[in-house]
A and B are shown apart, each in its own frame.
Chain A
Amino acid sequence: MLSLDLFANAIVAGVLLGGFYAAVAIGLAIAFGQLDIVNIAHPAFVIVGSYIAYIVNTHFGLDPVLIGVLVAPVFFLVGVGIYRIYYAAFERTGQESLSGLAFFFGLMFIIEVVLILVYGVDYRLVRAGYIGETIEVGFVGIPLRMLVPFVVAITCTSAIYLYLSRTFTGRAILAVAQDRLALQLMGADPVRIKQFAFGLAIATTAIAGSLLIIIGPVEPSVGRLYIGRVFAIVVLGGMGSISGMFIAALILGIVETLVATFMGPSWAPAVAFGLLLLTLAVRPAGLLGR
């Protein structure tokens, strides 16, 4: 029996989940959507963000979101470093498509294995006052462990959207994959632009990781579940469109929750790829692809 309150709850939960997906996917929307860097290790960095939130939260009791924000600058520097290696080893010699993919694939494995060796495969979690609390609005329950990530995700996505569309560096990031040489003729150094943008992309995973572990416990291989999802979101939204990515993330969150509610959770992962295939068939440029 399709009850209204079940449906309403699923929609609200889906929107909240979708907002969180946007926070996970936005870094990839920059790296893959804007810079053409197939960073398959993106979810692995999110997991590292989760573990840092777990460690600091366990030892010092700091709020996970605050930890994510504080760690983001460190992640930025890590991203800059990774791009330098990637550029020197692959991009400069034009081998980024296959060797670059292998590079990030390897990076993903190393991250996962190191996490397993150090922390094992047990699920880890964080503590915060709001985890476990629920606001009741009529017959719809809004768990704070979903609402907090949603609000942070919206803030993050809007800030990055504004940054890319309103600043000189932001616009250069939007332009760099379209025509490198033309960007040089505007007086910008494409390598520095990409380096900064990739740093920004990795910085977002620190925050996304802290949100992930607020939503639920995390173990090292959880990242793999997100590889398909985040790539699906970026392609579905239209490569290079931040607002398209956000809409795609919401759609995926809502559809996954509806499927999980009315058909069973085991169907939910198939939805991401179903949507991706459908998009590629019907609208290859994605929802808001230019």
Chain B
Amino acid sequence: MACSIRVDEVSAGYGAVQVLESLSLSVNDGETVALLGTNGNGKSTLMKCIMGIVRPTAGRITAVIDDVEHDLFGKAPEQIVDLGIALVPEGRRLFPKLTVEENLLLGAYRSAARERIPYNQAFCFHAFPRLAERRRQLAGSLSGGEQQMLALARSLMTAPKILLIDEPSVGLAPILVKTTIDKILELKERFGLTVLMAEQNFHQAIRIADRGYVIVHGRIEYEGASRADLADNELVHRLYMGL
């Protein structure tokens, strides 16, 4: 059944500071869409608007989950999560004083996720063997790479249909960035997810993206209909490759 997200002319900000200006984008069923942009252009704010953490000042955000359309405006984050939309937040936001396993089980808090715990947890431990080895350790004691793995795994425990990932590469060594991006693709295919990924590491992001948007100062400056489009675009060259 189809799942998608549609953002229509959304404006948002913090107090007097306008961050997003009439921004529109969409993620269709089964796609991996990259939201590309350097720091401070509004990627995280858009993610927060979709999740109900930041309330837009104008515009509309809707999600289709299993062919049913939902208006996300005015819903609390936990209600949006309960629809089947998960966010791997910026900075991971694990529960540092709980163990790896407790973090994963908290991911399965919503009732629809509880029934799938055995399967999802087994899969997480299979996909991330390090987490299985460290299941009794406190999340706060993990390395940066392991924490990112746990953040991904924990979001999968919520049994999402749509997965939003905010800057998975931030703070990771280059080799880990590559494995993290590969894992995202693997998980996406395994669970049939629809993915929106904000990233500033252009080269890594377009390896797995079907298409993407470039966000500059809170506006979509370029929409690339395919991986090749993005790689060839002049704006992208200017922003990311210093050409």
Q: List A residues at the B interface (Cβ < 8 Å).
A: 168, 171-172, 174-175, 178-179, 181-189, 240, 290
Are B77's CB and A181's CB within 8 A? yes
Kindly state the interface size class of chain B when it binds its partner. Answer: 20 to 34
> How far does the alpha carbon of A26 sit from the alpha carbon of B122 in the complex, in Å?
35
Are A172's CB and B109's CB within 8 A? yes
Interface residues of B in 166-218 (CB under 8 A from A): none
Chain B residues with CB under 8 Å of A187's CB are 78, 81-82, 109-110, 113, 158
Would you mind naming 19 contact pairs between A and B with Cβ atoms under 8 Å apart? A171-B106, A174-B95, A174-B102, A179-B93, A179-B95, A182-B93, A184-B81, A185-B51, A185-B77, A185-B78, A185-B81, A185-B155, A186-B78, A186-B81, A186-B107, A186-B110, A187-B78, A187-B109, A290-B138
Chain A residues with CB under 8 Å of B114's CB are 168
In the complex formed, the residue of B with least CB distance to A175 is: B95
Are A171's CB and B158's CB within 8 A? no
Chain B residues with CB under 8 Å of A183's CB are 106
Are B95's CB and A182's CB within 8 A? yes
Chain A residues with CB under 8 Å of B93's CB are 179, 181-182, 185
Measured between C-beta atoms, what is the minimum distance from B51 to chain A in Å? Answer: 7
Chain A residues with CB under 8 Å of B89's CB are 181-182, 185
Chain A residues with CB under 8 Å of B108's CB are 168
Chain B residues with CB under 8 Å of A184's CB are 53, 76-78, 81
> How far does the alpha carbon of A188 sit from the alpha carbon of B102 in the complex, in Å?
15
Interface residues of B in 103-136 (CB under 8 A from A): 105-110, 113-114
Pick from B82, B94, B110: contact of A182, CB below 8 A. Answer: B94
> How far does the alpha carbon of A121 sit from the alpha carbon of B51 in the complex, in Å?
56
Pick from B96, B106, B138: contact of A172, CB below 8 A. Answer: B106
Chain A residues with CB under 8 Å of B97's CB are 174, 178, 240, 290
Measured between C-beta atoms, what is the minimum distance from B160 to chain A in Å? Answer: 10
Are B95's CB and A178's CB within 8 A? yes
Chain B residues with CB under 8 Å of A168's CB are 105-106, 108-109, 114
Chain B residues with CB under 8 Å of A188's CB are 78, 106, 109-110
B86 interface residue per 8 A CB criterion: yes
> How far does the alpha carbon of A183 sit from the alpha carbon of B78 in the complex, in Å?
8
Measured between C-beta atoms, what is the minimum distance from A289 to chain B in Å? Answer: 9
Chain A residues with CB under 8 Å of B53's CB are 181, 184
Query: What is the count of residue pairs linking A and B with beta-carbon distances less than 8 angstroms?
Result: 75
Chain B residues with CB under 8 Å of A185's CB are 51, 77-78, 81, 86-87, 89, 93, 155, 158
One digit per residue, 1 when the CB lies within 8 angstroms of any chain A CB and 0 when it does not, for chain B 153-164 equals 011001000000
B98 interface residue per 8 A CB criterion: yes
Chain A residues with CB under 8 Å of B155's CB are 185
Are A175's CB and B98's CB within 8 A? yes
Are B98's CB and A174's CB within 8 A? yes
One digit per residue, 1 when the CB lies within 8 angstroms of any chain A CB and 0 when it does not, for chain B 21-60 equals 0000000000000000000000000000001010000000
> How far does the alpha carbon of A16 sit from the alpha carbon of B77 in the complex, in Å?
46
> How far does the alpha carbon of A168 sit from the alpha carbon of B77 in the complex, in Å?
18
Besides A171-B98, A175-B102, A184-B81, 16 other CB < 8 A contacts? A171-B109, A174-B95, A175-B95, A175-B106, A178-B95, A178-B98, A182-B95, A185-B87, A185-B93, A186-B78, A186-B107, A187-B78, A187-B113, A188-B109, A188-B110, A240-B97
Chain A residues with CB under 8 Å of B158's CB are 185-187
Interface centre among B81, B89, B97, B108, by most chain A C-beta atoms within 10 angstroms, is B97
Pick from A171, A179, A240: contact of B105, CB below 8 A. Answer: A171
> How far does the alpha carbon of A178 sit from the alpha carbon of B114 in the complex, in Å?
22
> How far does the alpha carbon of A212 sit from the alpha carbon of B26 in the complex, in Å?
63
Chain B residues with CB under 8 Å of A240's CB are 97
In the complex formed, the residue of B with least CB distance to A169 is: B109
Chain A residues with CB under 8 Å of B78's CB are 184-189
Measured between C-beta atoms, what is the minimum distance from A87 to chain B in Å? Answer: 15
> How far does the alpha carbon of A284 sit from the alpha carbon of B105 in the complex, in Å?
29
Q: List the 9 closest pairs (A to B, CB-CB), nearest first.
A: A187-B110, A187-B81, A184-B77, A182-B93, A290-B97, A186-B109, A175-B95, A178-B95, A184-B78
Are B138's CB and A186's CB within 8 A? no
> How far does the alpha carbon of A189 sit from the alpha carbon of B89 in the complex, in Å?
17
Measured between C-beta atoms, what is the minimum distance from A129 to chain B in Å? Answer: 44
> How far does the alpha carbon of A265 sit from the alpha carbon of B210 in the complex, in Å?
76
> How far does the alpha carbon of A189 sit from the alpha carbon of B107 in the complex, in Å?
13
Measured between C-beta atoms, what is the minimum distance from B150 to chain A in Å? Answer: 12
Chain A residues with CB under 8 Å of B87's CB are 185
Measured between C-beta atoms, what is the minimum distance from A91 to chain B in Å? Answer: 16
One digit per residue, 1 when the CB lies within 8 angstroms of any chain A CB and 0 when it does not, for chain B 66-105 equals 0000000000111001100011010001111110001001
Measured between C-beta atoms, what is the minimum distance from B136 to chain A in Å? Answer: 12
